Amino acid sequence: MEEIRPITILRNYNKVIDDVKDGEPVILTKNGVGKAVLVNIEEWQRKQAEVRLLTELSKAEQEFGDGEDIDIFAEKYKLERFHD
């Protein structure tokens, strides 16, 4: 569950960093409006990997959907052959 805090908490940077837990982003607000989100580095890396994976899957789906030969598709994405 995320925490919502005013941006002024950054005055105590060390405490803020210590409070950022995996799966619990800290939302920083300015004048009551969300302005930034702090996340644990491991969570950030996971999210970036997810975005890259979903992007590649979307590209592959589009290419396959465009009628690309299954064997060419499998070779391009280093997949096992579907038939001998």
3, two tokens: 């925490």
What backbone torsions phi and psi does residue 41 show, to the nearest 5 degrees?
Answer: -60, -35
Q: How confident is the prediction for the chain on average, in pLDDT?
A: 80
Which pLDDT tens digit goes with each residue over 14-71? 888 887 877 788 888 888 888 888 898 888 899 899 999 999 888 877 776 666 677 7
For the chain, the domains span: 3-39, 42-76
CB 71 within 8 A of CB 82: yes
11 half-sphere exposure, CB direction, 13 A CA radius: 3
Instruction: Judge contact between 25 and 46, C-beta under 8 A.
Output: no
* 7 or 84: which leads in pLDDT: 7
Does CATH place domain 3-39 in 3.40.1620?
yes
Span 53-67, pLDDT tens digits? 999 888 877 776 666
